[in-house]
Amino acid sequence: MPANRKLLVLPGDGIGPEVMAEALRVLDWMAARRAVSFDVTEGLVGGAALEATGHPCPDETVAAAKAADAVLFGAVGGPKWDKVEFERRPEIGILRLRKDLGLFANLRPALVLDPLVDASSLKPDLVRGLDIMIVRESTGGIYFGEPRGIETLPDGTRRGFDTESYTEAEIARVARVAFGLARQRRGKVTSVEKANVMLSGRFWRQVVTEVHAAEFPDVTLEHMYADNCAMQLAARPKQFDVILASNLFGDLLSDLAAALTGSLGMLPSATLGAEQPGGRRAALYEPIHGSAPDIAGRGIANPCAMLLSTAMMLRISFGLEAEARLIETAIEHVLGGGLRTADIMAPGAARVGTSVMGDAVLRELEKLAA
Ligand code: NAD
């Protein structure tokens, strides 16, 4: 069978290559056992790219990412490059990819797998079965708005300022992503802003309402002030399906939602670009954790966030829902069976390293596919 799904793999630094190795084993399994194959190219990013080419995101990597249907990204950075000038820092690698691929919608699921219900900061009953998707606008808003600066006024007073600014098109395109995801899930979007005190928030609400009425009337839309949303996430998180927010509010709310689920080693993410004619869209999938220099090279990193990012890729970029579910279910069964990496260790569980965790996931995939 010809492989027509083009995948660029960027392992990066630290534990990036360690967890990516497990993702590649799962993709090999998919090719062998599910006839789902990928045309995989490996590229350089972060410190690894800096060492080899002098740049944390060389042009060849950007070109390969543009030519691919999806990018699977590990992690970048580490103390080795602490003294490198700002423009060459490994972290610039991911920023350039986001910018050059036009990746404006950051998707972070907050999913509580049953075996990890005790790892949450909330009571088990509040989070058991939790499954929220946060869609954060990631290329606009106050982190990029102009004017911005720190200045001294004529009377000698110093002031610092940023600008929250969104165009109609910027709001509409990220809203479409949220509504589209809701259609594949439980059919509800909660759009978050501060329309009570910010005009840009009032405009956000207006545009989201218009997109909803014109294109997604089958989806339930509710609006919520960002401060209330933070409170509701901590008090009654299961009321949410998809949360849609600006760059700033999405940043805060997605970290709060992450805390509800337990460990960094379990959290995947996706960042999507605009849909092009034919339905293709640029997409990058990565765990939300970094390169974890404190544990790199020891073979103890949790590969689950990387594997769950791979599952997101199969579902969103390639429409392979059944295969995505297989990975998610396999991970849930492995954790339920009592195997744990150090970061999610629980009393009575067996502590294992990265590759043994990968072995266990593959064994479980075999059982599920039998
Ligand atoms: P980090 O996410 O790398 O690590 C934070 C803590 O969580 C560490 O104690 C680490 O051991 C642990 N941890 C993270 N992932 C884990 C996993 N899969 N399994 C087990 N434990 C895990 O964050 P940091 O320490 O603040 O940053 C380290 C480097 O990573 C820095 O250079 C930072 O800039 C970079 N970083 C990169 C990305 C990215 O590539 N997108 C994201 C965040 C941080």
367 Cα: distance to centroid of ligand 1 (angstroms) = 32
- State percent of the chain over pLDDT 90: 88
Count of CB atoms within 10 A of residue 167's CB? 11
Strand segments, DSSP code E, in the chain are: 6-12, 39-42, 70-75, 105-111, 131-137, 149-152, 158-161, 188-193, 220-225, 242-245, 268-275, 281-287, 339-340, 350-351
For residues 271 and 254, give the distance between their C-alpha atoms in angstroms, rounded to a whole number. 14
For residues 320 and 12, give the distance between their C-alpha atoms in angstroms, rounded to a whole number. 26
Question: Quick check: is 143 catalytic?
Answer: yes
- Which residues approach ligand 1 with their CB closer than 6 A? 15, 19, 75-78, 91, 94, 264-265, 286, 289-295, 301-302, 305, 341, 343
Residue 2: band (very low, low, confident or very high) from pLDDT cuts 50, 70, 90: very low
Question: Quick check: is 194 catalytic?
Answer: yes
Low-confidence winner among 63-72, 116-125, 126-135, 146-155 (lowest mean pLDDT): 116-125
**Ranges of CATH 3.40.718.10 domains, the chain:** 1-107+266-370, 121-261
- Does the pLDDT of residue 1 top 60, yes or no? no
The protein residue with its alpha carbon nearest to ligand 1, atom 25, reads 292
Count of CB atoms within 10 A of residue 252's CB? 15
In contact, 270 and 312? CB cutoff 8 Å: yes
Question: Quick check: is 166 catalytic?
Answer: no
- Residue range 185-235, pLDDT digits in tens: 999 999 999 999 999 999 999 999 999 999 999 999 999 999 999 999 999
Among the listed residues 114, 123, 255, 367, the single catalytic one is: 255
80 Cα: distance to centroid of ligand 1 (angstroms) = 14
The highest-level CATH class for domain 121-261 is: alpha beta
Calculate the CA 217 to chain-centre distance. 27
pLDDT mean over 281-291: 95
pTM of the model: 0.92
Give the CATH fold of the 1-107+266-370 domain.
Isopropylmalate Dehydrogenase (3.40.718)
Closest CA to 219 of 229, 230, 232, 209: 209
For residues 96 and 93, give the distance between their C-alpha atoms in angstroms, rounded to a whole number. 5
DSSP 144: T
Mean per-residue pLDDT of the chain: 95
Determine the straight-line distance between the first and last CA of the chain, rounded to whole angstroms.
22
pLDDT mean over 264-271: 94
